[in-house]
Structure 1
Amino acid sequence: MKRIVTLDMLRGYALVCIMLDHMPLSIMRNLTLANFTVFDAAELFVLLSGFLVGMVWIKVEARQGRRAAQWRFLKRAYEVWLALIIGAVLLALLSRLLFELKLNHTAVWFQYARWIIENPAGYIATVALMWMQPNLLDVLALYVLLILTAPVTVPFLLRMPFTAMAVSVGIWWLSGPLNTLIPNQREQQGLLFNPFGWQLLFFIGVALGAFRSQIMPVLRQRSGVLTGVSVSILLFGLAIIVCWRIGEPAKPAADMLKLVYGSIDKWSLDGLRLISILAASWLVTVPLAPAFEWMANTELGRALSEIGRGGLWSFVTCVLLSIWGDALDMTVPEGGMGFLLRLGIDAWVIIALWVSSALWLRRDQWMGRFRALLTR
């Protein structure tokens, strides 16, 4: 299947944003997606993941049949679940090591560092059962559930798209009470990333990936209207962000805007965040497509694409680097020199993520050379 370079670049950008957003003292954190919109990299990551599922499913089913596609995504769900467990162990061990080195950090809960040593079997079991989802990795628990349902939900979507999307909207509408039915360690039952809410964004992505050749010609006929509406939605979101940044002086304007959107809830995926990421997707896909394709073919774009292609490896790496970067940030003094040092730490974690992803993508080459050296 021919890769879409812009898609890979955006996946890489989402992972960089996720990493920096989880470093509270980061300088470049002030430039991530969440500073300019009411949604953040999590929505971008889930929507792109759904889009990729739709694209891959169609290709696999056309060549090998539906059973092959179903089996492929069952195996993928297992891989994501395994990445959740391995990532949780590495996260806890890294946190423990940093505490032993007297490097404080706040990106993850300190209890994980205790439990992995005091009760490693219990820690791993609770993660494996998804009774507990360590923060920073909790989106993987959501992804496990979404991919695990794909062998049933995607064929339903392909066969009866309008009915399937209506059901998805209905589940999203009832996502709050439905999530409380999931047993969990949290005092408020359910997963932090409410799967009943986020499934709508994921399956919108699946539908766009699977039916893009049918959907896009229809949408392009109304390109001007959709672009105008999308720009308006994003400007509305930017006004909300600006009011939040200004604080008390902008409270009257913020209250007036709130009369329109009600409330914003990331964890159940509220309506404003949902339509905002869809509006941004339209702008990237249609009016700004040439610009993003150009960016994807720059050196920076290619580096981000390699991060995006790293998949689960890149995701777990970005989580570990965010913890490490957070710990380093907390050792930096305040002032001008501190600003430069934190900026350097940001650059270091981004480069480290890219190098790690690039090595992973080329693992067959360098592992082959390494084995050849050993057998000489």
Structure 2
Amino acid sequence: MLNGRDPRIDFFRGLALIFIFWDHVPHNPLGQITLRNFGFSDAAEVFVFLAGYAAVLAYGKILQRDGYWFATLKILRRAWVLYVVHIFLLAMLMGIVFFANSHVETRDLVAEMGLTHFVTHPQQALTDELLLRFKPNLMDPLPLYIVLLAGLPLVLPMMLRKAWAVVAVSTTIYLLAPWMGWNLRAIADGVWYFNPVTWQLLFVLGGAAALYSSKERPVDTRPLSRQPLFIAAALYVVVAGVITVSWRWPEIHDAVMPYLISELIYPISKTDLSPVRLVHFLALAYVTAKLLPGAGWTRNWLAGHVCQMGRYSLEVFCLGVVLAPLADMLNAIMGDALTMQLLTATAGAILMAGLAAWLEFNKRLNQRAPAPAPALNR
């Protein structure tokens, strides 16, 4: 039987949401400390992997308890809610960006956010929006999650029986997709920026990790320095970090980067989830799990708020999408002053944490059982 919720998963989901928000505010100095600056992968990989982890953990329990069709109904209902949220959020985003663009004279925020298609072809854009083909900047993760979640009923029963077989098929599809040109159509680039045919592997691996962690297994008690897999993973994370940091100085990078390695790893495609990105995330996840084996560190005040953000990831993600263009507008009006950039980035994260805290408060309030009515004397 699948076990309960791991607070570490909530923490890293919340942290990924903060990083996604910071990464999507141009010129934001706090964006320099996010994951993408120190390795080949970024917060998107964290978000998708943990989405798969949480989905298999939650709906696997429902399937085991209530059967396949009830679990499928719950999954598809959730996917429908996400689809409706996507439509509503896109409408809000367009309104905010058009408003912000009217107050910023130095830049074209409509073009930067990928909303030109709506301006030039509004009727077609509405159709493309309903078909998930019109995806402005900031909106890509949500349609990807909708598609991956909608496909979960096809693999969940086999995942619970033979997860290795699902991983093997998923890996085969992942390897064939770039070679065969498999992707979904979209406006602007012609295909989805996050190719669901390749990113599905990360979602599946997240689900497999959830199943693996739910079973009792012997623990390797050797020091980390004597565990070859940990050493290899840590070494890869360090090397990837050094290479990524060297991108800030192209002359130094070109001078020290061996030609053969450059030919092997470049270009590092985010659309097709390049193998070096995938391996980097898996190595980073493994190293993190080894260095933080328990959940006691999540009980402090700050980590607790980040965990709350992870528990309400949909609502917090949507708020981050709305806040990013507003923060960009305020920064642009103030001439991209450093103090203003720090203020908007920090305020946005605080508002996201505040929303999660409010939702948690309401949940606990609703869970309180009403006091029993006094019996009437007869």
Fold conserved (TM > 0.5)? yes
User: Residue type matched to 2:343 in 1?
Assistant: G
Report the CA distance shift for 1:181/1:197 in structure 2 as closer, same or farther (over 3 A). closer
Is the 1:96–1:114 Cα contact (8 Å) retained in structure 2? no
Is the 2:19–2:31 Cα contact (8 Å) retained in structure 1? yes
After TM superposition, give the deviation of residue 113 of structure 1 in Å.
6.9
User: Does structure 1 residue 283 correspond to structure 2 residue 291?
Assistant: no
The aligned residue for residue 348 of structure 1 is: 347
SS in 1 for 2:44: helix
Q: Deviations over 1:8-59 (max 9, x none)?
A: 1111100000000011111101111111111100000000001111211231
The aligned residue for residue 371 of structure 2 is: none
Aligned-pair identity in percent equals 25
SS in 2 for 1:174: helix
After TM superposition, give the deviation of residue 5 of structure 1 in Å.
1.6
User: Residue type matched to 1:9 in 2?
Assistant: F
SS in 2 for 1:245: coil
Report the CA distance shift for 1:215/1:34 in structure 2 as closer, same or farther (over 3 A). farther
CA distance in 2, matches of 1:2, 1:239: 37
Q: Any gaps of 5 or more consecutive residues in structure 1?
A: 369-376
The aligned residue for residue 128 of structure 1 is: 130
The aligned residue for residue 58 of structure 1 is: 60
The aligned residue for residue 373 of structure 2 is: none
After TM superposition, give the deviation of residue 212 of structure 1 in Å.
2.1
Report the CA distance shift for 1:186/1:215 in structure 2 as closer, same or farther (over 3 A). farther
User: Residue type matched to 1:279 in 2?
Assistant: A
The aligned residue for residue 233 of structure 1 is: 236
SS in 1 for 2:194: coil
After TM superposition, give the deviation of residue 326 of structure 1 in Å.
1.3
Q: How well do the aligned residues superpose, as a CA RMSD in angstroms? A: 2.7
After TM superposition, give the deviation of residue 260 of structure 1 in Å.
4.7
The aligned residue for residue 108 of structure 1 is: 113
Query: Could you tell which deviates more after superposition, 350-359 or 174-183?
Result: 174-183
Query: Could you tell which deviates more after superposition, 160-169 or 132-141?
Result: 160-169
The aligned residue for residue 204 of structure 2 is: 203
CA distance in 2, matches of 1:165, 1:221: 29
Superposition pairs of residues 21-100 of structure 1, within 5 angstroms: 21-100=23-102
The size of the alignment, in residue pairs, is 359
Report the CA distance shift for 1:277/1:79 in structure 2 as closer, same or farther (over 3 A). same
CA distance in 1, matches of 2:102, 2:319: 21
Is the 1:243–1:251 Cα contact (8 Å) retained in structure 2? no
Report the CA distance shift for 1:362/1:234 in structure 2 as closer, same or farther (over 3 A). same
After TM superposition, give the deviation of residue 149 of structure 1 in Å.
0.8
Query: Could you tell which deviates more after superposition, 250-259 or 67-76?
Result: 250-259
Q: Deviations over 1:278-306 (max 9, x none)?
A: 1111122223234xx34422222111112
User: Residue type matched to 1:151 in 2?
Assistant: P
Is the 1:51–1:208 Cα contact (8 Å) retained in structure 2? yes
After TM superposition, give the deviation of residue 141 of structure 1 in Å.
1.2
Q: Any gaps of 5 or more consecutive residues in structure 2?
A: 368-378
CA distance in 2, matches of 1:91, 1:38: 29
SS in 1 for 2:193: coil
Is the 2:100–2:325 Cα contact (8 Å) retained in structure 1? no
After TM superposition, give the deviation of residue 264 of structure 1 in Å.
1.0
Is the 2:39–2:244 Cα contact (8 Å) retained in structure 1? yes
Query: Could you tell which deviates more after superposition, 11-20 or 48-57?
Result: 48-57
